[in-house]
Each structure stands twice: as structure tokens, then as C-alpha cells.
Structure 1
């Protein structure tokens, strides 16, 4: 009996000792006499592709610009901002990609593979945040995705005495509801999870005033909630010279079939960026272009032909490309050409500045987030038409000044016909978009996040 008790005590003591030794190191604030020492240290956590998370990259650049040391933790799958790659105060800590076998668009398999994917992510996040990296003063977490990011980040920040700052881009549970439905138990659990772990943050940033209201009133968050609207980076700039814009378009491989029309200025270039996911119904634009083509052929021959260049990657892309090919074969897009492209960051910025009109199909799962693509379009001086049936839309677009809204394919067709049929109306919107382009990220970030992080 005594031997058994001694064995149990030894096991408990050993386990407790291992636990103590395996706890992640804690952050200790130290004043340094070194003038080159960072003013603060931060980790920026993106449970997604860093290159496709512009706002989190802008956070990193702003922290580094003001003297902080930054690590960006996330999937390193595509090109990042050029200054990110070269900045001496910024480093990238890549997360290992999850196994391809856990990816599925099937609803039933999603319920099976989802938990396995989460377990894999839990292990990767815990190891990276707790052991692969040193303790820092701030961890800035992009939300969504919420699961398992918020839980792991909250625990690590607690153990390391680190401040947790959640940057709310949207709500994870509303995006999950697009796939499973609002009433699904997993959606309700996800909402509870976001509310619960949101309570552990030191402070919150969010993309709209409307979202700040939801976080305060519905989520009941008590820590400071600071709206921080998205603004374009410096590489998005208007191109005022028509010849420069035309020359750039002529160099794009996607314009090869319509180059004579570009040369004669008889073509209108429309640009849309999409993640090819369920929260952006791309069929709206396809339907609108089919109707526009029909009107231009039969009832209004003065309407110019349109080239629609669609950028982005995502799961539904092939489905829509097949649909477009069938419409072209049936002769329903004679006055509208649709091309897809994947461009460098610099070429994407030049494309926006060279186009005639931008289109946003973002429908907002929560009603209180905003599409970053429209911010980039305004940065390049490009007027926008976009889906406007959600409350936060007026925080970004001023109707009739820098853009217009629509709520159906029919309304989108009406906008295209009016703007492409009357160049003066399009130029009025372009003037408003160029005025909007003067509002930049630094002017928004410095007095909000910069002050919060002690850098301003």
C-alpha cells in the first residue's frame, strides 16, 4: 500500500515538475539604454494566408514604422507586401499547412473533417505561440477565423503576461452560418465561443462603428472597443494620365483579344476582386453582364463593350469559369468579355487605377463588416458599384459621390448602363473616388492603434 502511494506521489510530482518546466516563458518589460531597442514588441496572428490579409500586414508595417519589433504568424502561401519582406523589424513565422485531405466542400464531410482540422491547428498554434517564439508585449489576433485562434491566443497571453488585442474583421459564427444555417448547433456554439473568449482581450479593434456597437451591446465586451476603418496602402494611387492607363492595360495578357478596342477608347474596363466564396454571389455580375450584352446588341447600340477582369482565388472559381465558358459558347456575352487574373500587388494596384469602374459583390454575413477591395479601389481613385443591402455600407461609400449601390442583378445592369452610357456621370464618381483616395492608413491607424500600443 505504501509503495503504491509513493509511486502515485512520484508520478504526480514528476508531472507537476514537467508542467512547470514546460510552461512558456513570460513577458518581462525591461527598459533598455540601447537607442536601437524596439519601442514595443508584437506578434500578429493570422490563421490564414498572410499575403491575402492586407489589414494585418498594414498593422505590422505601422508598428515597425514607429519603432516596434513585429513577428507575423500565419500561412506563407502568396506574395506579401514588398516592405514586409525587406523590413528589418518584421519577420514572418510560417505555420505548417494543414493536410490537404482535411479540405472539403461537402457539408457532411465538413462536420467530420472540421474537428480534425481544428485539432491540427490547435497543436500548431500552441507550439508556435508558446515555444517557437519569444514572449512579446502584444499579440494582435485577426478574427475571424475564431476557432481555435481566440482560445489558444487567450491562454498563451495569460501564461505569458502578454496583452491580447483582437482585431475584428467580421464574426466567425456568421460566416459558419452561410454553410450550416443560422439555427445549427455549431453556429450557436461558435457565437457563444466568440463572446466568451472576446472577454479576455485587453482591447479590441474593429472595422466599422456598427461592429463596435454589436461588440459592446450584444457581446457585452468591457475592454476598450476602438473602430479602425480600413484605408488603402501607399502603393494604391490614382493614375491621372490616360495614356499611362491605356499603356498598362495593353500590356496585360488578359486584354489580348480586345486590344484594338482599348486603343480606340471604345471599351470600358470593369474590375472586381473576389475570394470566390459563398458570401460573394458572383452569379450577380455574370447575370448583369449577360443582360448588358443583350441590351447593347439589341436596344442600345451606343453602349460600349465591356471587359470584366476578375482577380482572386477561391473554392468556387472553377464552377463559375465553367458557367462563363458555356455563356460565351452560347453567344450571350458578345458585348462583354470576362477574364480572370492573379496579379502581383503592384500590378493589381495599377489595374485598379487604370480601370473605369470597380464592382464589389461582398454581401456581408454579419451586416457590419466592409469589403477591403472597395478601400483599395478608392485608394486608386476608382469609383465603385457594390452590393449595399447591409447596414455598414454607408460607412464606406457615399451614394452618388464616390460610388453607387445595388441590391440585384437588375439594379447592377441599370448602374452599368447609366454610367457607361453617360461618361459625365462616371467622371463625377471618379472625382469623388480620387478625393476619397487622400484618406490613408497612417492617418487612421496612428491616433487609434498607435496610441493604444504606446507608439504615438
Structure 2
């Protein structure tokens, strides 16, 4: 009996010892000061977590750049699927920490298969996130987490922050449960659980950033966050977004894109208007709305108002539904429904995308908002390039970004969008008025928004 008790005590103590040894190291300001020169001043250290492609997460890249430019040290953690902003990889204060990609077999759009593969994907992400946050990186003063995705990000981040004595900050772009409901429906048990999960773990955060005032209100009223500060930090364009005012420079850039080389002659004569839309090719952006509108525009331009110019529509982005829509576009073109419209797709670098926006005539946003309180950053980028916008406006937060008739127009159907296209491209003075409004909107930039809000909270400004 005594030998059994001794044996149990030995194994319990051994396991506890291993657990204590394996715990991640804590954030200690004194140690940070020693590692950064020992001048008595604590250097602000921040980990930025993106459970997605870093290159397609501009807001989180802007956070990293702002912190680094003010002297803070940043680890930006996420997947490396596309090239990030050039300064992210070249700045001495920024370290990119890549997450291992999950097996391709776990990706699916099938609802039934998703219920099986979803948990497996989460398990893989839990392990990779834990290893990265707890062991592959040094402890930081702050962990800034992009939300969504919420599962498993918020849970892992909360536990790691507790063990490391790191302050958790959540940057709310949308709600994870509302995106999940697009696949499963609002009343599905997983959606209900996801909402509870999001509400529970957001209570662990020491501060919150929101992209709209409407989202801030929901966190206060519905999520009942009362102890931690909730700060609205609107998206603003970065400095590399700017209009290209020189017509020759604009034409040369557009002609340099292999995707539009066939229309170089029309671009040179000014007989074509360039329309740009950036999409993630996901269910929250119904791209058929734009296709239908362009077909209607082509019909009007060939039968009712032949003075209307041709449209070159350049669609940028990657996503799961891209192939489906490309097949639809091809079928419409073969049926003769896009005679005065040429639709091209492109995947561009950060800087070339900015130049494309600066060279275009009109931007289109198809973002419908799963929650009603988030905003598409693509519109912010378009304004930064002085590009007027027409966008889906049937959600609460839209007026926080676009002033109707001043810097853009809203629509709620393909018919409304087609009407805007024919009106603006048929009356260039109206388009120019919107462009003037967009250029005024571009005057307030990211740093002006970030410094007094996030910079002050993090202690770098």
C-alpha cells in the first residue's frame, strides 16, 4: 500500500515538474530592457496574430508598420500565401513568424463534409498556434489578435496571454459567428455555440479596437463589455494609395498589365472606362450582382445609348468561388451579353494594386456584411487613390464610410448598379464630382487615425 502511494506520488510530482518546466516563459519588463539595450526604458513589444494570409490582411500590416516606425518591436504571425507590404519584410523592427499551412484535404465548401473536417482543421490550428505563441516567439507586452476568425484564435490567445502575463487586445473586423451563419444558418447549434464562445473569450481582453461605431455599440450593448476600453479605429488608407493624375503615366501602367494588354489601343484613345472591384470570391460577396449589371450596361450601350463607352472591368483577388464565377462570365460572353464589356481577373502586388486603383475610373464594392456593422477596407483603399465608389449599401455601417452622392453611391440590386454605371459613364461631370469627393476623403490617412488611438493605448506615441 505504501509502495503504491509512493509510486503515485512520484509520477504525479514528475508530471507536475514537467508541466512547470514546459510552461511558456512570462513577459518580464526588466528582461526586455536588458535585451534592448538596458537604458532603463521599456521597449514596447507586440505580437500581431493573423489566422489568415498576412499579405491579404492590410489592416494588421498597417498596425505592425505603425508600431515599428514608432520604435516598437513586432512579431507578425500568420500564413505566408502572398507577398506582404515590402516594408513588412525589410523593417528591422518587424519579424514575420509563419504559421504552417493546414493540409489541403481539410478545405471544403460542402456543408456536410465541413461538419467533419471543420473540427480536424481546428485541432491542427490549435496545435500550431500553441507552439508558435507559447514557444517559437518571445513573450511580448501585448498580443493584438485579428477577429475573426474566432475559433480557435481567441481561446488559445487568452490562455497564452494568461500564462505569459501578456495583455490581450482584440481587433474586431467582424463577428466570427455571423460569418459561420452564412454556411450553416443563424439557428444552427454551431452558430449559437460560436456566438457564446466569442462573447466569453472577448471578456479576457484588456482592450478592443473596432472598425465602426456600430460595432463598438454591439460590443457594449450585446456583448456587455464594460471593464475593458472599446475604441473605434476606422480604417484609413496607407500612404502608397494615391491618385495617378498624369494621363500618360496612367495609360502606361494599365498597358503594362498582362491582363489588359489586348485593350491597349482603346486605353490610349480614351474610349474605354476602367472599373475595378476587389473580391475574396466568398459567399458574403454576391459577384453575380456585378455580372448582371455589366450585362445590362452592355445591352443599353449597344441598343439604347450607343454613345456609352466600353468598360474594362478588372477584378482582383483570390477565393473559393472564383472558378465558378469565371465559368459564368465565359458563358455570358459567348452568349453575346458582354459586347461592350471586357472582364479580366488579376492578382497584383500591394504596390501594383495601389497603382491600379489610382488609374481606374470607378470602384465597385460587393461586400454585403454578414453582421451589418463591418466595413470593406477595399473602399478605404479606393478613396485613398481618389477613386469614387459604388457599393452595396444595405447594411447599418455603410454611412460611416460613404456619403451618398458626395464620394460614392450605394445600390441594393443589379438594376440599381447598372443604372449608376450608365449614369456616371454617360455623364462624366457627375463622375468627376464623385472623384473630387473621394479625393477629399483621402486626406485623412492611417497614421492620423492610428496615432491618437492605438498608438496612445500601446504607449508608443
Structure 1 residues 36 and 60, CA gap change in structure 2 (3 angstroms) = farther
Q: Equivalent of 2:411, from 406, 427, 431?
A: 406
- Structure 1 residues 19-42: Cα deviation after superposition (integer angstroms, max 9, x where no partner): 111111110112556459773001
- Residues 46-445 of structure 1 mapped to structure 2, 5 A cutoff: 46-222=50-226, 223-445=228-450
* Corresponding residue SS for 1:219: coil
What is the deviation of 1:345?
Answer: 1.1
CA deviation after TM superposition for structure 1 residue 256, in Å: 2.3
Whole-Å separation in 1 of the counterparts to 2:54 and 2:113? 27
Going from structure 1 to structure 2, the CA distance change for 1:185 and 1:82 (only over 3 Å counts) comes to same
- Kindly indicate whether the alpha-carbon contact (under 8 Å) linking 1:45 and 1:142 is maintained by their aligned counterparts in 2: yes
Q: 1:11 to 1:369 in 2, by over 3 A?
A: same
TM superposition score normalised by structure 1: 0.99
Q: In 1, are the aligned partners of 2:29 and 2:42 still within 8 Å (CA)?
A: no
* Mapped partners of 1:45, 1:237: distance in 2: 28
Of residues 437-446 and 26-35 in structure 1, the stretch that sits farther from structure 2 once superposed is: 26-35
Cα deviations by residue, 1:331-385 (Å, 9 ceiling, x for unpaired): 1100111000011111111110000000000000000000010000001110000
Gaps of 5+ in 1: none
Q: Does the 8 A contact of 1:38 with 1:68 survive in 2?
A: no
| CA–CA distance in structure 2, aligned partners of residues 292 and 397 of structure 1 | 24
**Structure 2 stretches lacking a partner, 5+ long:** none
| Preserved contact between residue 238 and residue 446 of structure 2 (Cα < 8 Å) | yes
Take 2:381 and 2:56, find their aligned partners in 1: how far apart are those partners? Answer: 13
CA distance in 2, matches of 1:132, 1:5: 38
Contact kept? 1:208, 1:369, Cα under 8 Å? yes
Question: Residue 25 of structure 1: SS of its match in structure 2?
Answer: coil
> Does residue 1:12 correspond to 2:23, yes or no?
no
| 8 A Cα contact 2:145 2:169, kept in partner | yes
Task: Return the alpha-carbon distance in structure 2 between the equivalents of residues 394 and 34 of structure 1.
Answer: 49
Match of 1:3 in 2: 3
Q: State which of 443, 446, 449 in structure 1 corresponds to 2:451.
A: 446
Instruction: Provide the secondary structure at the position in 1 that maps to 2:149.
Output: coil
Q: Distance in 2 between matches of 1:314 and 1:219?
A: 31
- Secondary structure of residue in 1 paired with 2:312: strand
Q: Does the 8 A contact of 2:145 with 2:170 survive in 1?
A: yes
Cα deviations across residues 130-183 of structure 1 (Å, max 9, x unaligned)? 111111100000000000000000000001100000000000000000000000
Shift of 1:194: 0.4
Task: Provide the rounded CA distance (Å) in 1 between the counterparts of 2:271 and 2:19.
Answer: 71
- For 1:377 and 1:147, how far apart are their aligned partners in 2? 31
Displacement of 1:239 in angstroms is: 1.3
TM-score (norm 2): 0.97
Counterpart contact for 1:38–1:69, Cα < 8 Å: no
Aligned to 1:29: 29
Query: What is the total number of aligned residue pairs between the two structures?
Result: 456
Q: Distance in 1 between matches of 2:162 and 2:53?
A: 26
Cα RMSD, aligned residues only: 1.1
User: Contact 1:211–1:369 at 8 Å: present in 2 too?
Assistant: yes
